[in-house]
Amino acid sequence: MVIKIKKICCIGAGYVGGPTMSVIADRCPEIFVDVVDKNVERIKLWNSTNLKDLPIYEPGLEDIVKRRRGKNLTFSTNIKEKISSADMIFISVNTPTKTKGIGAGQASDLKWVEACARDVANFATGHTVVVEKSTLPVKTAEVIKKILEASQIPINFETKKSFDVLSNPEFLAEGSAIKDLEYPDRVLIGGENNEAILALNDIYINWVSPEKILHTNIWSSELAKLTANAFLAQRISSINSISALCENTGADVKEVSRAIGLDSRIGSKFLNSGPGFGGSCFKKDILNLVYLSKYFGLEEVAEFWEGVVKLNNWHQHRLSRLITNKLFGTISGKKICILGFSFKANTNDTRESAAITICKDLLEEGAFLSISDPKVNKKQIEKDLKSYSLNNLNYSEISDFFNYEGQWAFEEDINNAAEKSDAIVILTEWEEYLNINWEEISTMMRKPAWIFDARSILDPKEIKDNDLYLWRIGNGQSND
């Protein structure tokens, strides 16, 4: 049986579903793509006439949505209607780490995946190919299949439903998701039915070279995604551990990274030290591997991967302690400017951002924080820090910040954020920060003033020439 896909429905209009379906609609204009979500506000933003209001920021996404929306790409809350008319359904919903019960703190919470499977079971008609797109634990497809199979029994002699389940994990780096979708290193399709695999293969073949489309069994596909993220996170923790060693020995982590990156067996990617890995997948997927390893009695394997997460957590707390120590051992009543809150540049995603941990530590020590990010809004930062921003502060009228200990304010303007600050901490590698006028900023800060470059993106000479102390991650040299 040849399966021809004419209509696709994606459940989940988040960081994966929205961009992925936009690219599929753009590259396959003959296929109608419906993206559905229960979040009314999110769908409203996807349909906004002002493309700057899209709920997700990714370079290139606005142009694609502008080209395809209203033609063969729609965003809707009509879940039942769109599922019932689809030939292929992607499940692309959040799979957070469980906070309670069996596996709490490690296993993925699959309640939204199960809810989607039940919606598909209830509303699908005829034969439907169901595609796992969310990052899921191994054997999740088995859960989905059981739910779908239960709905295949004819009721009142109605036409029997039938399903195929595929795994098609995403390998997207936020900030370059559109590029990763349009020019992927590989596309992985795992399944049991060759006809279903070929149906999804025929979609990707419109823009992806055949040799980059890999077919596997469904379990290998699921595990490959977890493993890829775990390996990348491991590299980040590894280089960050070396950055701490560099700071204490006089070595420069950038020089070390360059030297080892030229080794063809290692390669240069993911060897930039920073404030620690974040995003929706790395920590969650490693903890998933830890849980699976423990479940199968592989305690040593679990301990190995758990160490990657522990090192990342230690590194983030290390940075906040270092800032406190450099500022004479106390930051109580001092103003610290935080530049960058998203977990990396070119995205507005703050999930598991290192900035959250570092800012909470600094607030706990009594600092007053002025936080600025070009794409993350005040409302999201309030949600992440679990505290409200102070509004409309006039810094020129404030003589000191002891009345604002442990509080923070959101500032869109970098100069406002830096005014009267004792230190500036760069936590995200936004391009805007490369063009800061440090001569002007220096006159606004309280001396002695520090710049903490946690991304190692600034010109040390420019900082030092403007009477500012500099600390760079992984560099044993500073002018203190």
Catalytic site residue from 9, 10, 116, 281: 281
Residue 357 phi, psi (nearest 5): -65, -45
Catalytic site residue from 58, 82, 161, 170: 170
Residue type, 459: D
Q: Under a CB-based contact definition with an 8 Å cutoff, are residues 357 and 284 in contact?
A: no
Token look-up 């077919």 returns: 215
Two structure tokens written together for 405? 């200990």
Q: How many residues are there in the chain?
A: 480
Catalytic site residue from 133, 161, 225, 283: 225
> Is residue 281 flagged as an active site residue?
yes
Distance, C-alpha 203 to centroid of its chain? 26
- The sign of the dihedral angle between the CA atoms of 359, 272, 235, 269 is positive
Angle separating helix axes 253-261 and 218-249, nearest 10 degrees: 140
Cα gap 160→127, rounded to integer Å? 9
> Is residue 10 flagged as an active site residue?
no
- The sign of the dihedral angle between the CA atoms of 211, 213, 219, 222 is positive
Cα gap 250→475, rounded to integer Å? 7
Rounded to a whole number of angstroms, the distance between the first and last alpha carbons of the chain is 72
Sheet holding 162-167: strands in order across? 73-76, 32-36, 7-11, 88-91, 127-132, 162-167, 187-190, 213-216
Cα gap 135→279, rounded to integer Å? 13
The residues, any chain, with a CB within 8 Å of residue 442's CB and separated by 6 or more, are 449, 466, 467, 468
Cα gap 284→340, rounded to integer Å? 22
> Is residue 439 flagged as an active site residue?
no
Residues with catalytic roles: 170, 225, 281
